[in-house]
Amino acid sequence: MCLAVPLRLVEIHDKDGVAEAGGIRRSVRLDFISHPQVGDYVLVHAGFAMERLREEQALANLKALQEVADAL
């Protein structure tokens, strides 16, 4: 099973970026995102930002992931 995680872009350097959620930062590739901007939420899988998300959708997904983690 694959899992993609919503993260917020905090740095962009050409096609490389840094994204974060919950204080954890990850390097991400931005090859699949057209015109990425700092502050965008992106869905990340295997180090690649796969698609841009609306903030409400990203926050709802992060909340659901936290609920699962809390239940474990």
Per-residue pLDDT tens for 58-67?
Answer: 999 999 999 9
Q: Which residues contact 67 (CB under 8 A, 6 or more apart)?
A: none
What is the pLDDT, as a whole number, of residue 1? 63
User: How many domains are there within the chain?
Assistant: 1
Mean pLDDT of 45-54: 97
What percentage of the chain exceeds 90 in pLDDT?
A: 93
The pTM for the full model equals 0.90
What is the DSSP-derived secondary structure letter of residue 1? -
**Above 80 in pLDDT, residue 2?**
no
Q: Are 54 and 41 in contact (CB under 8 A)?
A: yes
CATH number at residue 37: 2.30.30.140
60 lies in which domain range?
5-71
What percentage of the chain exceeds 70 in pLDDT?
A: 99
What's the CA dihedral at 27, 33, 5, 21 to 10 degrees?
60
Q: What is the torsional sign of CA 38, 44, 50, 55?
A: negative
